[in-house]
Chains A and B, each alone.
Chain A
Amino acid sequence: MLEQWFACELHCHTVHSDGDFTVESLLKTARERKLDGICLTDHNTQSGVPEAQKAGILPVLGGMEWTTYFGHMPVLDCRHDVDWRDALPDTIDEKLRQVHENGGICGVAHPFQIGTPICTGGHWDYKVQDWSLVEYIEIWSEGSPFLNTANRRAIKLWESILDKGYRLTPTLGRDWHRPTNNMYPAACTYLLCDGGKLTPEKMKIAIRNGRTVVSAGPLFYFETETGATVGDTIAAGDTELIIHTNTDRADTVPQANGYNPQAVRIFTNGGKMLSEIPIDGGDLRITLPLEAAHWYRAELWGEIDGKPDCQLAVTAPIYTE
């Protein structure tokens, strides 16, 4: 089955913690936003997950946002609740291992949110030793993503971890608590999954494998001639990248913004911008000399509602051997 991109929201709350959404209203609002799937990540509980999964409105990957004193860590699809209450900065790796032993995956939520007492525990203070124990990091949290200081710092943190040779999947977390807009209406994380019906298991695999694009709305990704794409590992050397952009889904979301993609920027190790290429609709091809043991990721820039110089989308990296 051919792979397919699905629009998902990976960070949602309901009345099971401090959200205003009921489980049903969250799912219906997600469907109105043309989302294909969500992760339910209430603070310190999975009590809403059975109802959400039984509702049959959208595929729901169950999880819990560990809302600790030293950081917020979404844990997805963990068979058994590992205790979040005694997590400590210096020994967090042990907790990450326990989550993995129970089949779960771990993320870093809004690492540069202002923390206690303004947003309790919201600032990431954990000293992860082995980043291979963390699957993903929210590089965009609520707010106007690219103007948000915390998000810009999150991208720098993400790049610094990639530079150490770890693979870390970028995600968007709307941190959705209520229907009011706290981000562009069509913003989402696109997940590349096996085609056909989306399932929670496919969402989990896509996050684990780095097959994501963080977006204000447009679908934007790249692939090689042989079909390798974000999350994959390819040989170094001159490589042609085919870059795709479309706003088909984004344009159908109620109150959608107007998008005008204008340029693609390619970034690599050290956060260095390798190339900036203007685009004018349709696909773009560019050949780049890829170095060994590097990461390469793309960003889409352009206008949102006529406002210039907006970051429209950020892809996960492709890696070289």
Chain B
Amino acid sequence: MITQPQTEAPVSPVPAGDPTGQQVSWRHRHLLDVDALDTAEIERLLQSTAAMEEVLQRRVARTPALRGITVVTLFYEASTRTRASFELAGKILGADVINLSAKGSSVEKGESLIDTVRTIGAIGADIVVMRHPQAGAPYLAARHSTARIINAGDGTHAHPTQALLDAYTLQKALGDLQDKRICIVGDIKHSRVARSNLWTLTRLGATVTLVAPQSLLPPGLNQNHPLGLPAVRIDDDLDRALEDADAVIALRLQRERAAGVQVPSLREYARRYQITRERLGLARENAPVLHPGPLNEGVEISPDVARGLQSEIERQVQHGVAVRMAVLYLLARGGA
């Protein structure tokens, strides 16, 4: 449990207006999507991620920073890397981690999301990491939860920690993302990763081009709606879009979300939208290739690119642990 301050501990001498150790509280109780974060907050998260990555390289990669904190992962949908990396992140920081899935829990007996979240809070969870097939479910949970909520993917809406680890991976490969040209290719419509990527990358100053067939683009792009997505370029010709691209993010064709019926044939889709070695030659030299996984090899990405020198896919998974450590730390200890 997070203990409330009883008495003010002696404050170590840090002068006000200190340029290097600015004392800034983290103002968010939950992490539901990146759209709630401003550029400075995204940068602070990425800077904390770098510090966490260093922790992972220590001989004993364990710290007591979240000692006494209980993290519950609550997954209503399948996941390998996200859940495992949240669990590992919590354990490395000294938190207790409990894994719950809809299967085998009271959810199967018909318990509502609100009741489940209230119960988990009553047990003493400080942070609930939640994945749900319904867009917006974590927002509903956050309204009824005493614990902090981290969205680990809600339907086709958002996947903030994936977007943050993508941004971190791109920053490490390319440096400052200001004015970098990033191509996101594939099933944008069903991709919560793409949506969260749009917020993160545009706030960091990158220019984003979406490449997909019309049927796999979400409605409401570039409509200048106050609740809409940030402005992006859209192209249905991958070769044209790849020219001079600084980086490529390939997305999985989400056949379980009916994307299969929205493309005429897999072969035709692969012919037009697969990231192949020849196509990658059109982009900037050594342009990094990202993919949030799991891969449909031979559909959106060719096996030689997925395992090639420009592939960042394995590093993305490694960065995923550090990003989730940073998010857990800031939510638990950041002061909100």
A binds B: no
Residues on B lying within 8 angstroms of A by beta carbon are none
